[in-house]
Structure 1
Amino acid sequence: MGVLLTSEVRRIFRSPRFLIFTVGFPLVYFLIFSGIYAQGPDAAQALVALMVMMAAFGAISASISTGGRVAVERGIGWNRQLRLTPLPGWAYLVVKGAVAMIVTLPTLVLVFVVAAVVKGVDLSALTWLQVFLAAWLGVLPFAAIGLLVGLFATADSAQGMATVTMLLFSLLGGVLIPPQVLPAALASIAHALPSYWLVDVAMGQALGTGIPLEGVAVLLAWFLVIGGIVAVRYRRDALRV
């Protein structure tokens, strides 16, 4: 399992497309938006908000797009080959989920470092650690969602489905658009999405407002439900071979 995890991570980090779209874009967006919106007496709080939102956007994008690779592997028969090895099915899913979590790290670290060094975001060491852990662990539901996309999509449709899924969660969940400006109906939807609470929990750590139990419950529910669906779908997919 360790060998498969290492090879998967190396393959992804060697992809220029991954580095550009999931690491470069969130950083560029943060620099642009912070230069436009982080002005006036609330500039410090706006910087923190933009930092968390753009880091979350990159992490969501990286985790979902990584899961989409499963569709390509299913298309070329790689999954069937792995089933002939001693590697159990649950280990394959765990490896894919772990890869999705690992590839979010560069985006989170880079956005946070640039926010601190270039934009002067000043947090204590403990607060930085709390924000990072909240943002990283909040990606768990999206690692499962990415796997779900990969198990239902085809090799041709995987990229499009992953992109649409990522944008829907980012837009409706208040990652790219603050939920305060959304209509009431869409704001209600946002509160039921893991993307909203990923940002809210991480923001709470940055601002010292604590961890909302509702947010933890929503994130955990999404992870468990989607994870269960992924397990059932993978088992059915294996039975067809």
Structure 2
Amino acid sequence: MSKEKKLWFDTTPGVEKGDSFSLGPYFSVYANTDPKHLVFSLARYKFVLKMLKKNSSVIELGCSDGFGTQLLKERASKIHAVDFDHRAINWAKEHLADEKVEFIQSDILTADYGKHDMVFSLDVIEHIYPENEHLFIESVKRNLADNGAVIIGTPNITAEKYATLNEQHVNLYSGERLQETFEQHFHNVFLFGMNDEVLHTGYTPMCHYLFVLACNPK
């Protein structure tokens, strides 16, 4: 009688046959309806990871269900992951929270969880009404250490006509406007672009996605 062939999960420590992992209520939608969007989103988190100094304290404003947040655990000493969405936060608390990551259901415009080496927010600022933009930036600065860094990521307004209409995008930015906005609050602001998962410093109007990296608050 031939021996039964073992699969990889039969010999991997800590993995039981039949184990599965949910991506969470929001990232699961990406995986089921547009998997490439999941790759793009994780590439944005990877950029934040690469900019993060080892053993840094981090706060994420607008963490959704926290799946992308997990990438930061490689270098962060402690992560406060904040979102107003109770459904997303409750899922993250149940499935992802540990000694490194604390998920907090709160209004990101009033968040105050101490000073952090990095504050970052991806795909959030475009959902903030223009009249509340200053509250968002003040929340960023309130949670930032004097020698810390900020990363903000958002879709580029020039790419809007090529994207699926999102009525929740009430405050889209061009690269110029994004940089000028943060230069009002920080001495050093660096602008990057991203097309799909490729980060670059190319012609800004042709970028699908934008980042500012800011430090030295005014």
Tell me if both proteins adopt one fold, taking TM over 0.5 as the criterion.
no
Structure number with the higher strand fraction is: 2
Structure number with the higher helix fraction is: 1
| Greater relative contact order (Cα < 8 A, sep 6+) | 1
